[in-house]
């Protein structure tokens, strides 16, 4: 990948992130990003929880940018598995979807 391709890709990623943080789930994204490593590590040993945490953030960002309905967001989180749901429940903004 050349430098121009790299710059183009970074610009596209920045635009996607801006849409996510301006979207309907911006508070949910901020809640997830506010979780400490200790809070995440308390769910399961090893790096599995960190990998799922990263996937969860991606799912919420994509849902925010695309204005996906809450029920669909909940479904997508549940598709990531139990660890993702446990992480989501640690964020007050996402926990309400699992009550």
Interval 50-61: pLDDT, tens: 899 999 999 999
| CA pair distance 20, 60, nearest whole angstrom | 8
Output DSSP code: residue 42. T
* Residues 20-66: tens digit of each pLDDT: 878 899 999 999 999 998 899 888 777 888 899 999 999 999 999 89
Structure tokens at 4: 């121009």
Structure tokens at 3: 């430098």
């Amino acid at each position: 990948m050349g430098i121009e391709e790299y710059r183009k890709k970074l610009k596209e990623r920045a635009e996607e992130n801006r849409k996510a943080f301006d979207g309907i789930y911006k508070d949910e994204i901020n809640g997830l990003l506010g979780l400490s490593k200790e809070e995440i590590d308390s769910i399961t040993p090893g790096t599995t929880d960190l990998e799922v945490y990263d996937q969860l953030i991606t799912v919420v960002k994509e849902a925010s940018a695309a204005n996906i309905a809450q029920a669909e967001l909940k479904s997508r989180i549940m598709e990531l598995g139990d660890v993702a749901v446990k992480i989501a429940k640690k964020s007050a903004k996402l926990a309400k979807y699992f009550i």
